[in-house]
Structure 1
Amino acid sequence: MRKLISFFALVSSGALSAQGPAQPIIDMHMHAWSLDEFGGDPPPGCLGARGIDMHGVDPAKPFDFMAQATCKEMVEAPKSDPELLEETLAQMRRFNIVSGVISGERAIVAKWLAAAPEMFIPAENFFDGSGLPDEGRVALLEAQFESGETSVFAEITAQYRGLPPDHPSLAPFYAMAERLDVPVGIHMGYGAPGGPYWLYPRYRASLGNPMLLEELLTRHPKMRVYVMHAGMPLTDEMIAILYSHPQVYVDISADNVGVNRAEFWAHLRRLVEAGYGKRIMFGSDQMVWPQAIEVAVDSITTAPFLTEEQKRDILYNNAARFLRLSQQEIDRHHGR
């Protein structure tokens, strides 16, 4: 299945000014993909944070993905898989992203790990292909975790398949994750713009409602869960889940680079002012446009409503706590 072509943003501002290069960052949401996911020639990524108008389409005409919005700036993808990896690593080193959770095709993830084993945390989806996962995949993922090949189960993409996050087919996977104490990242919220009409015919916005997680959370109270994209734009529902289920964290990936900056900041500010600044984790959702990493970092470092302590929590401290990093790992990340 072709992967999501999402809107990305890029800003050429002082991303390092408030966040000194010596301060480490953990990226909880990255992808290790081949350009083949986009037919070998990915389209330009829309720089949404610099301005995007979602003006819609005429339903009488054939659906055109690019016609539904106007982007003020675009960014090109690298020309080859080696360049994609090289540019991603360069961006990570530039912003001192010391660890990134990567998911994707196993062979590509393995190449990225081999290139920089200290910089990546391998992740795996419950789904493999377009069909429902079976019991054999439960055993496979458990074996991958036990061998160290997989450390996180993410990104769980039930929503793209027209399924709620607690679909019965996923029950054995959540039980296994809870038993093994493996972190689980679940996609909730925005998907591909106009997705049901061109790329993900089963995608439904309603299936990204964070409230759909409630029975799953109470059924597996010891499972470590983070809601990818923080369920945006359903901020009220996300706050309700965070309030009732204190074990839940969120990442703020993709929205921090794919929508107008003021819109993203409005959601982020709501979460922080509601008291959840200790449970928000940084993510870039880097796919095949490494420049997205810059705008993702900038979305936090330049946020005028965040204190320096809150920025550090979002960029590093919350993820270190969620992942249960050892003091030795934390010291290494800080050069101590």
Structure 2
Amino acid sequence: MSNEKHSRHEDIDAVVAFQRGLGLTGIVDVHTHFMPKRVMDKVWSYFDSAGPLTGVEWPIRYRLEEDVRLDRLRSYGVRAFTSMIYPHKPDMAAWLNQWSIEFAARNPDCLHTSTFYPEPDAGDYVRLALEAGTRVFKSHIQVGDYDPNDPLLDGVWGVLEDTGTPIVIHCGSGPAPGRFTGPAPIAALLARFPRLRLVIAHMGMPEYTEFLHLAQQYDRVLLDTTMAFTDFIGEAAPLRAADLPLLRDTGDRILFGSDFPNIPYPYAHALEAVARLGLGDDWVRGVCHDNAARLFDL
């Protein structure tokens, strides 16, 4: 067996063993990235350059062809995943959404994902995306460098609030703060649209406490575990011991996310980082499968 095949088998076996240990029959991963190849290549180049939004060496662990990445997720036992896409400029979101329609049609285990940007036609193409079967949206406040309270997004938030569609939103100030990141803009948004089903990406890293408090205040707010609690994050964004009771109490609204393929460590480590919080097997089973299965009616 070649080293590459051996490494692949070890990688898969570690994830399968994790599930067996918990009695899980699958994983739902709400934060995985599939994009048009030219976009993904640019994202990887950005990580390779340790760009200002990362600022650290970030080797892409799963830099594989799209079909190989899909096979890897399925080999892990991931029964549903997303295609997190996001624009960094105007006139890009609608094109990404069209690509996502085709990707979801080819891959029925993908939760059809769309995105948006503050621009005059945002409300129109978000409605079209919903009509096409979108089940989750992605908003990236850091990369998009936009205010979630921009009036151009009011129509978007309104329709997403009315439909109860989840929005995975990167709004925390990690790994580097942006002009509109942090809990304050999201608190202002929720004050205007309190029924939004926001999924705070990366647990709102590093502002875990503030975003957990928002989840306690608004019962439709959820959080995903993407990269949080891992060795790679370590002391850059540590979880305070005082936050563990908040995590436990909000356990039915914490969802597993990996950031696959753009992670610098094995997939299994993302799962182990959740388990080693010590909040109990039932809590971990909810995070890794049951909560998202309930949210998306899987």
TM-score, normalized by length of structure 2? 0.76
Q: Which amino acid is the alignment partner of residue 116 of structure 2?
A: F
Q: Give the equivalent residue in structure 2 for 1:179.
A: 162
Rate the CA distance shift 1:163–1:110 in 2: closer, same or farther, 3 A: closer
Change (3 A) 1:277 1:219: same
Which letter does structure 2 place at the counterpart of 1:25? I
What are the Cα deviations for residues 212-247 of structure 1, in whole angstroms up to 9, with x where unaligned? 222321322222221111111012211321222222
| Partners of 2:60 and 2:263 within 8 A in 1 | no
Secondary structure of the residue that 1:285 maps to in structure 2? coil
**How far did 1:261 drift?**
4.8
Equivalence for 1:280 = 254
Post-superposition offset of 1:190? 4.3
> Counterpart in 2 of 1:116?
107
Q: 1:16: which partner in 2?
A: 16
Secondary structure in structure 1 of the residue aligned to 2:180: helix
Q: Which amino acid aligns with 1:16?
A: V
Percent of aligned positions that are identical: 20
Does the CA-based 8 Å contact 1:235-1:270 persist in structure 2?
Answer: no
- Gaps spanning 5+ residues in structure 2: where? 1-9, 86-95
Partner of 1:147: 132
Of 223, 239, 251, the residue aligned with 1:267 is 239
- What amino acid maps onto 1:112 in structure 2? F
Following superposition, the deviation at residue 321 of structure 1 comes to: 2.8
Structure 1 counterpart of 2:35, one-letter code:
W
SS in 1 for 2:31: strand
Which amino acid letter does the alignment assign opposite residue 23 of structure 1? Answer: T
Contact 1:88–1:290 under 8 Å retained in 2 = no
137, 142, 146: which is aligned to 2:122?
137
CA contact (8 A) 2:274 2:284 kept: yes
1:68–1:310 CA distance, 2 compared to 1 (3 A)? same
Aligned to 1:167: 150
1:258-294 Cα distance to aligned partner (Å, 9 max, x none): 8335766x42865442222222111112245697544
1:35 and 1:288 in contact (8 A); partners too: no
Shift in alpha-carbon separation, 1:110–1:140, aligned structure 2, 3 A = closer
Output the amino acid matched with 1:314: V
Counterpart of 1:249, as a letter, is L
Q: Secondary structure at the match of 1:16?
A: helix
TM-score (norm: length of structure 1): 0.68
Change (3 A) 1:65 1:137: closer
**Structure 1 partner of 2:295:** 322
Task: Specify the SS of the correspondent of 2:67.
Answer: helix
Shift of 1:175: 0.6
Letter in 2 for 1:77: R
Question: Quick one: which amino acid aligns to residue 281 of structure 2?
Answer: E
2:70 pairs, out of 89, 97, 122, with: 89
AA aligned to 2:122 is R
Name the SS of the counterpart of 1:109 in structure 2: helix
Q: Greater RCO between the two (CA within 8 Å, min separation 6)? A: 1
SS of structure 1 residue aligned to 2:32: strand
Of 27, 31, 38, the match for 2:33: 31
C-alpha distance 98-269 of structure 1, shift in aligned 2 (>3 A) = farther
Helix, strand or coil for the counterpart of 2:17?
Answer: coil
* Aligned mates of 1:268, 1:121 — CA distance in 2: 32
Q: What SS is found at the alignment partner of 1:229? A: helix
More helix by share: 2
**What SS does the aligned partner of 1:17 have?**
helix
Q: 1:126 maps to what in 2?
A: 116
> Contact between 1:282 and 1:316, CA under 8 Å: does it hold in 2?
yes
Cα 1:269–1:169 shift into 2, 3 Å? farther
* Letter aligned with residue 192 of structure 2: R
